[in-house]
Amino acid sequence: MFETVSENRCFGGVQGVYTHDSDACACDMTFGLFLPEEAEDGPVPVLWYLSGLTCTHENAMTKAGAQLWAAEHGIAVVFPDTSPRGEGVANDDAYDLGQGAGFYVNATQQPWAPHFQMWDYVADELPRLLLNNFAIDEERQAITGHSMGGHGALTLAMNLPGRFASVSAFSPIANPTKSDWGRKQLSAYLGDDEAAWQRHDASLLVKNVGFDGPMLIDQGSNDQFLDLLKPEALSAAIAEARQPAAFRMQKGYDHSYFFVASFMEEHIGFHAEALYR
C-alpha cells in the first residue's frame, strides 16, 4: 500500500505526492502523480516523466510546467524518483553515481544490487501500484524524460514493445556506452561486460530494435553537456535505421528546466495525439 504525503488542487485536478514500501528497491520510495479532473469519472491516459541526475520526484513536478497542459488534454502525469534513498542505501560522493543517479537499470554489482533496481521499479512495481489504486488507463501510456530520464524513457520504450503509445525526450543521454555519463555508471551498476550495457543505450536500440510509434527528441544547441549527451549519435542512428522520429536542435537553449518548460506544451500535445488516436 501507499501513504499520502500531500494532495493539492491543481488546474482542476489533483497533484499528489505519495510514499510506499518498495519491494524492488527494498526501501521507501516517493512519487508524484497529477490526476486531471477527468479521473473523477474513470481511468485516464498516463504520461510517465522520468527525471535526470540529482533530481527527486519533486523537481519536474514543480518546475516542468506539465500540469496545465496535462489538464487540458485529460492526461495523468507520474513523476517517479530517480533512485532508491535512505539510511542503508549505498551512495557515492559524486553527484552522478548512487542516490539521485539510478540510471533506470537493475544493478547486478555490489554495493548497488540490494537497492538499485530502478528498471523493475519503473517498468513493473510502480505501474502495478498506480493501476491498482488510481484511475489510470493501462492501455494508454506514454513516456518522456529529461537527461538521464530521457535515456530512461527511450530505453524503456524500446525494450517494452507495445507498452507505450509514444516516447519523447528532452536532452537525453543518448549514447551512454560511449560517454562518461554512462560508462562510469553502467560499469558500476552492471559490471565490466559491455554486452550487458547494450539494452540501455538509446542510439544502439534505435538501430537494433527501434520503436513502433511516434518519437520526439528536443535538444538545446547551447546545452553545456553536449559532449556527454552525444545527441549526434542518436540523430545518426535515427537516420541510419530510418526510424520515424522528430529530432530538433533548439537554438540557444541549455540543459535547464527553463528549456524543458519551454517545450512541455508541445511534448504533451504530441503524446495526447498518440494516446487519443
The single residue of 22, 51, 83, 147 carrying the catalytic annotation is 147
- Which residues does 242 contact at the CB level (< 8 Å), separation at least 6? none
- Phi/psi at 34 (5° precision): -95, 125
DSSP notation for 112-167: TTTT-BHHHIIIIIHHHHHHHHS-EEEEEEEEEEBTHHHHHHHHHHHHSTTT-S-E
The single residue of 73, 223, 235, 267 carrying the catalytic annotation is 223
Q: How far is CA 53 from CA 158, 229, 242, in A?
A: 21, 12, 30
Is 255 annotated in the active site?
A: yes
CB 202, CB 234: distance < 8 Å: yes
Is 193 annotated in the active site?
A: no
CB atoms within 10 A of CB 162: 8
The single residue of 57, 146, 200, 255 carrying the catalytic annotation is 255
Is 221 annotated in the active site?
A: no
Active-site residues: which are they? 147, 223, 255
